Amino acid sequence: MLELHDITAGYDPAAPVVRDARLALAPGESVGLLGPSGCGKSTLARVAALLHRPDAGTVTLDGTPVRGWRHRAPRTQRTAVGVVFQQPRLSADPRLRLTDLIAEPLRATNRRDEIPQRLVELTPAVGLTPDLLDRRPHEVSDGQLQRACLARALVLRPRWLVCDEMTAMLDASTTAALVAAVEAYRADTGAGLLAVGHDQVLLHRWCDRTLHWTDLTSTPNRRAGDTAPPSRSRA
Ligand SMILES: Nc1ncnc2c1ncn2[C@@H]1O[C@H](COP(=O)(O)OP(=O)(O)OP(=O)(O)O)[C@@H](O)[C@H]1O
């Protein structure tokens, strides 16, 4: 389970942007999170990805409470969560070739020997062609760079994925390809997914259930506040 218990978080403890939010994802479950711009979705997503320490509340990852954040999180917890952000150019080191960008987490965890095999597996899985791997971020399109960022998020085989508006900047066909890549990974590994976004139709199609931001602070919030999807078909 990925559980957020009564999370209060933000950038000024005197004025938190997230207050007492609760969310629980079962293993393998996909949950979409909708909400108006600026309400705190990305902040909560960063808390769930162990990148932002909450002011109060607890994150529990597969039964173990999280005690450290960012580089202070234990490696087993840090590597259990893969994250993809909205703007690939802000999350990709512009100096790295795509091959090094994708392999970065393997280098950081001393698993360099896995790099060739994972590149062979992930390059087609995210829809990149081998010729793009030698290019740097400024030499590829936003969609191609986001595909590389998704590969980077998957490279350690995380049990949980946090996709924060992963497709917001992309066209329909790239969106469909990235969603399909995430779903193929989840089908293969049983990973759970928290997908944050504004696109209600996409999240309803993509996820097992979809929550609105206000559902996270109401009681009970779990399944009672779910928005029923119009269709169970995948995007
Ligand atoms: N690094 C930061 N420092 C200070 N305030 C921030 C920071 N990041 C976000 N905020 C503020 O926190 C609030 C919530 O931002 P957040 O990005 O979590 O919202 P969001 O729901 O994801 O918005 P959007 O849908 O527009 O991406 C906003 O008022 C924003 O201005």
77 and 61 in contact (C-beta within 8 Å)? yes
Nearest to 169 by CA among 91, 80, 67: 91
159 and 80 in contact (C-beta within 8 Å)? yes
pLDDT at residue 91, rounded to an integer: 86
CA of 43 to the centre of ligand 1 (A): 6
Residue 54 in any domain: the answer is yes
The phi, psi pair for 92, rounded to 5°, reads -115, 130
Residue 196 in any domain: the answer is yes
Which two three-digit tokens encode residue 209?
């259930």
> What's 76's domain CATH number?
3.40.50.300
Note every long-range contact of 101-108, with CB atoms under 8 Å and residues 24 or more positions apart, other chains counting: 101/137, 101/148, 101/149, 101/152, 102/133, 102/148, 102/151, 102/152, 102/155, 103/155, 104/152, 105/79, 105/152, 105/155, 105/156, 106/155, 106/156
Ligand 1 binding pocket (C-beta < 6 A) is: 11, 17, 35, 37-43
| Residue-range definition of the domain harbouring residue 50 | 2-94+160-216
Nearest to 203 by CA among 174, 161, 166: 166
Which two three-digit tokens encode residue 167?
């497709």
Residue nearest to ligand 1 atom 18, measured at CA = 40
From first to last of its 235 residues, the chain has per-residue pLDDT tens of 999 999 999 999 999 999 999 999 999 999 999 999 999 999 999 999 999 999 999 999 999 999 999 988 899 999 999 999 998 989 899 999 999 999 999 999 999 999 999 999 999 999 999 999 999 999 999 999 999 999 999 999 999 999 999 999 899 999 999 999 999 999 999 999 999 999 999 999 999 999 999 999 765 444 434 444 433 333 3
Tokens 């942007």 label which residue? 17
Residue 177 in any domain: the answer is yes
What pTM value is reported for the model?
0.90
Q: Considering its fold, how many domains does the chain have in total? A: 1
Residue 111 in any domain: the answer is no
Residue 168 in any domain: the answer is yes
Residue nearest to ligand 1 atom 27, measured at CA = 37
Residue 123 in any domain: the answer is no
Residue 153 in any domain: the answer is no
